[in-house]
Amino acid sequence: MKSEQTIPQHIAVIMDGNGRWATRRGMKRHEGHRVGVESARTLVTHCRKIGVRHLTLYTFSTENWARPEEEKRVLFDLLVRFLKGELSSLLEQDIRLRILGEIERFPLAVREMLKHVLRKTAHCKSMTLNLALNYGGRDEILRAAQTLAGQGLRPEEITPEVFADALYTHGQPDPELIIRTSGEKRISNFLLWQAAYSEFYFTDTLWPDFTPEELDKALEEFSSRQRRFGKTGEQVED
Ligand code: IPE
Ligand code: IPE
Ligand code: MG
């Protein structure tokens, strides 16, 4: 077991359990989303502080379009407010925003705010904040295949590197650690290609209760794991 903590370059989070957090308190699901945004805000700053280079937050999946109109409206409204409120803080912390997913399906106000923050933070270099929006792993892989087919590449030209370059995450390392809150133990169409060798950390904590201390617990466990990439335990021992 390694003694010092290893900080992953890229952490990805499935922020789950907002609805249950609220209903358990006799509140509307909206309240869970509202408090969940605060957890996200705090996590971004904490990750930047400890030296994480890429943070990916699963914010709205391709399947989440099936949610009630009212809930989607609240989520989009919270997203616009978050972006508006965070822009100066992102710039101050030198954090660049990137979007994983196709944003054309979102209402105009959401698209405009996203484009604004993307433009304003494009020069930031200390950390990349990826918001997975209208994101689905299958959709991403399918689009990459379609893009490459459209470019008329020959089969042997489609290498893993070329393929990865056609994904939303192009130019970024795969996440070493994927965290899912709320006790669910599934991938829910998240980063299907990129998660090939990620370590998974599951916690029963609901997303609105997820604090930097919870992240530290995940990092502690991550540091104690041995990543093998298909080799034997002896081969990777350093
Ligand atoms: C995660 O919380 C937020 C989104 C998926 C947008 P949920 O809304 O899925 O909360 P639960 O799983 O119903 O508790
Ligand atoms: C995954 O959570 C998507 C996001 C966190 C944005 P869901 O709550 O939508 O996933 P399932 O439906 O429980 O698998
Ligand atoms: Mg959920």
**CA–CA gap between residue 183 and residue 203 (Å, rounded):** 6
Of the residues 16, 18, 130, 134, only one is catalytic, namely 16
Separation CA 70–CA 10 (nearest Å): 33
Q: Place 237 in a pLDDT band, splitting at 50, 70 and 90.
A: confident
Atom of ligand 2 minimally distant from the CA of 188: 14
For the chain, percent of residues with pLDDT exceeding 70: 98
Residue 1, pLDDT score: 42
What is the average pLDDT value for the chain, to the nearest integer? Answer: 97
What lines the ligand 2 site, CB under 6 Å? 14-16, 58-61, 64, 184, 186, 188
Q: H helices of the chain, where?
A: 18-23, 29-50, 69-92, 108-120, 137-150, 160-165, 212-224, 233-236
pLDDT (0 to 100) of residue 175: 98
CA of 230 from ligand 3 middle (Å) equals 32
Token representation of residue 43:
């996590």
Q: State yes or no: is 238 an active-site residue.
A: no
* pLDDT, position 235: 93
**From the alpha carbon of 75, which atom of ligand 1 is closest?**
6
Residue 208 Cβ < 6 Å to ligand 1: no
Q: What pLDDT sits at residue 238?
A: 63
For residue 62, what is the DSSP state? G
Report d(CA 8, CA 25) in Å as an integer. Answer: 34
Q: Is the pTM of this model over 0.85?
A: yes
d(CA 80, CA 112): 9
d(CA 97, CA 69): 27
Return the CATH number of 10-138+175-224, one of 3.40.1180.10, 3.30.930.10, 3.20.20.70, 3.40.630.10: 3.40.1180.10
- Note whether 163 and 144 are within 8 A (CB): yes
Closest ligand 2 atom to 207 CA: 5
Question: pLDDT tens, 189-203?
Answer: 999 999 999 999 999
Ligand 1 proximity of 140 Cβ (cutoff 6 Å):
no
94 is catalytic: no
pLDDT band at 2 (very low <50, low <70, confident <90, very high): very low
Task: Write the residue with the smallest CA distance to atom 10 of ligand 2.
Answer: 188
pLDDT of residue 217: 97
Ligand nearest to the CA of 190: 2
